[in-house]
Amino acid sequence: MNLTWNIFCRVIDNFGDIGVCWRLAVNLAERGQSVRLWVDDASALTWMASEPVHGVHVLSWTTPFDMSGMTPGDVLIEAFGCEIALEFIANYADGIRAGGQKCLWINLEYLTAEYYAAKCHGLPSPVMSGPGKGLTKHFFYPGFTSGTGGLLRETHLLEQQAQFDKTAWLAHYHTDGQEHSRVVSLFCYEGMDLRLWLAALASDTVPTLLLVSSGQSTRAVRRVLGHEMGIKPNRDKRGALSISYLPLLSQLEFDHLLWACDLNFVRGEDSLVRALWAGKPFVWQIYPQDDGAHHAKLHAFLDWLKAPPSLRLAYDVWNGLVQGAMHWPAVTHWQSTVTLARQRLWVQDDLADALIQFVLKSRHG
């Protein structure tokens, strides 16, 4: 059944919200759905989205809200607790009441491996005030287990990975991974202190090619090295470490970056999921919270991952929970952990399919 979905997204920082919402819109469209992505700042899509996608319409979330000539559609998704425009809610509520339809208002939550994700997934929440009074929201939790909404995953992901040419991709970005025994990607927040880590790579006996993502990751590395190095790979006079700064990458090209590397350092929600699907060893920098709530979230993920002690220690060091330098890890041991985790995820429904099933069940249940 083809439905019209409305996804509402406010861009807060780091483009993580718009990244997840764009992937969700594309995933739904792949499955024959029509999607309107309402966003207050769509500028990141000029580089994040490699090309337009049939079935996805990006619309400006303005104030006051304007939906002249549009019907409210069938489903509305409130991404990450953003407050949907009251004008849209009023229009949506009027359409539901007039047509005798069931309310399909979904609050898409942040990704977590904590126990409450499965406990709260799908729960209803009556709307007690405002133009939507009398309607019902449902909490929808992405997650890593069958009791949650699953993770975003493209329908042709395995075929794309099988066709990927690592050598050609590295050559396109003026790098030669064959000259190095290992290729590592870095996607981190700017506040990272990388001094000990870069020094350990530079003094190692095995040559490393470090591919640094544009933006905050580049600034974090350059703050340590103290000089500009450009996009092409350069020896930094520190031994075995070569660094290549990458341009802004589309979501597809970011996937390719992860597929091309032996070890990936990723940050935030979207790149964590992409690292899991890449099937390569990775270390995740969780978004830090002032109250330290991210510590429990990080360890809940490590518990689900069934991470060995060496991987848990690496995560704690990388996230500043433990002091010390991160040396080259036991990547071979980590590989089996990631492979098994990916296999567990693959037999579960992905997020787009889970949403469609939830909506259809709600409409006909």
83 is a catalytic site residue: no
* Contacting residues for 330 by C-beta, under 8 A, at least 6 apart: 310
- Which residue of the set 17, 109, 270, 350 is catalytic? 17
| Helices marked H in 31-145 | 45-48, 86-99, 116-120
Reference 302, options 338, 255, 271, 347; nearest CA is: 338
Strand, coil or helix: what is 211? strand
Q: How far is CA 19 from the centre of its chain?
A: 7
Is residue 107 within 8 A of residue 140, CB to CB? The reply is: yes
Please give the C-alpha separations between residue 357 and each of 113, 350, 351, in angstroms, as whole numbers. Answer: 22, 11, 10
Output the CA torsion 259→263→267→272 (10° steps): 50
Q: Which two tokens stand for residue 157?
A: 């992901």
Is residue 120 within 8 A of residue 138, CB to CB? The reply is: no
- Which residue of the set 74, 269, 270, 350 is catalytic? 269
17 is a catalytic site residue: yes
Residues with active-site annotation? 17, 269
